[in-house]
Amino acid sequence: MNLNPAPTAWVKSTYTSGEGGNCVEWSPAYAHAHGVVPVRDSKVPHGPTLTFSPTSWAALIAYARTSGA
């Protein structure tokens, strides 16, 4: 699926450092409007985008928080 939310609609992970480390971005506005959560590599903003259902995204975030991932 080719998603193209406006660049200002992307939100960086809270684990993002100012030094450009490994991180992801997601678009909550797009997720709210379309029912899917787009996720991308913040270092490759024009690269591929993964999509998750809201339930799957919430489960992934919960797992990452509890596992220290």
Mean pLDDT of successive 10-residue segments in the chain (69 residues)?
A: 62 70 84 89 87 93 80
Each residue's pLDDT tens digit, 37-52:
999 988 888 888 899 9
**pLDDT for the residue numbered 33:** 87
Q: What are the boundaries of each domain within the chain?
A: 22-67
How far, in Å, are 7, 54, 60 from residue 29 at the CA level? 11, 12, 19
- pTM beyond 0.85: no
